[in-house]
Amino acid sequence: MTIPENTSRSRTARSAPTLHDVAAAAGVSLATASRVLNGSERKVAESFRERVERAAAELGYTANVSAQTIARGTSPVIALLVADIADPYFGLIASGVARGADEQGLIVTIAITEREPQREARILHALRGQRPRGVILAASRAGERDAAAVDELTEFASLGGRTVTFGEGGDRSIRIPNREGSEELGRSMAALGYRRAIGIGASEGVSTSDDRLAGFTAGFTAGGGEVVRVHRGTFERESGTASMTEALAAGVEPGTLIFALSDVVAIGAMTAIRDAGRTVGEDIAVCGFDDVPVSRDVTPQLTTVRVPLSELGYQAFRATVADEWEQPPMEIEVLVRDSTPGIAR
């Protein structure tokens, strides 16, 4: 049996074009081609740059990122660590980081920690070998960072990398006014006539949850209300449903307000309220935090605190790459919608 020469078994793979090939095609030195294609800060005449870029495009040449990493000590990568990529909170932050990276010609790689300290340490160890330009840690956590993760970040810093965290703990930090925003929300809800509230938060010690619950309690109490109890779970929608189911089993009087630590958790709570045959709004009011897009799509629309998450992601990127950086002022806004119609007096 004869196998035709044009079958995949007999084909010879075409060799990838090299930097030497590009330099020869462009009629320039290897050094000039390297400066153009490997991002050197040394100036190259515009005519040479155009010839090199045209030759590279015609040959299908792509730079060897591994070789660039060895030469520079870093790769053109920004590493973003999030707890859950399915959570729109992190999706919005990632969009802002990606926007900044695109402006600088860099690449964003995303890893999921699931808020597990050991997993975070393993991810940081793997990333350190890739020499990213910087690491952005966007996930809130309970307590101090795992010792192994701290060691990885120390080693990363010794190689010239920069760490940016949401909250304290990095070379630079992004601050979200969780307490201030939730306190303003609490005052607004008390002004609508609510006097009895139930909180839904994450485990104690998780800074984002603790700050938001503390802020809401302070604002609501100052307005004459009382947070009668708090049910705790995680940041997932399903946890909001489970916590609300637990709250309903313990008894929820009509006119009670539910404050959930995030919109995602609040939407889960709304599902449990409907499943129990109760009504969201005049029967049991619900409010959240973040103003993720879906908060405007649910029925009734969810009362929340608007935080510019995409802009925060962009600022996190700027903090990672800029020599000098200071977080600009950030505006937050309480958005009162139909999920909290108020108590008639």
Domain range list for the chain: 19-63, 75-174, 178-307+328-335
Distances (CA, A) of 200 to 176, 226, 228, 230, 301: 19, 14, 11, 6, 19
* Cα 303 from Cα 285, distance rounded (Å): 9
How many CB atoms lie under 10 A from the CB of residue 292? 23
**Would you call the peptide bond into 300 cis, given omega within 30 degrees of 0 as the criterion?**
yes
Residue 44: what pLDDT? 76
320 close to 162: Cβ distance less than 8 angstroms? yes
The two domains 75-174 and 178-307+328-335 share their CATH topology (first three levels equal): yes
Buried b (16+ CB within 10 A) or exposed e, 162-175: bbbbbbebbbbbbe
268 close to 233: Cβ distance less than 8 angstroms? no
Q: Average pLDDT per run of 10 along the chain, which is 345 residues long? A: 41 65 84 71 76 82 54 71 91 95 91 87 84 86 70 81 82 91 98 98 92 98 97 95 98 97 97 97 97 96 96 95 90 96 82
45 close to 51: Cβ distance less than 8 angstroms? no
Considering the entire predicted model, what is its pTM? Answer: 0.78
CATH 3.40.50.2300 for the 178-307+328-335 domain, yes or no:
yes
Residue 336: what pLDDT? 98
Alpha carbon 29 to its chain centroid, in Å, reads 43
Residue 38: what pLDDT? 66
Residue 124: what pLDDT? 86
* Cα 291 from Cα 307, distance rounded (Å): 7
Superfamily of domain 75-174 in CATH is Response regulator (3.40.50.2300)
Residue 40: what pLDDT? 56
Residue 130: what pLDDT? 77
Residue 4: what pLDDT? 43
User: How many C-alpha atoms does 221 have within 13 Å on its Cβ side?
Assistant: 9
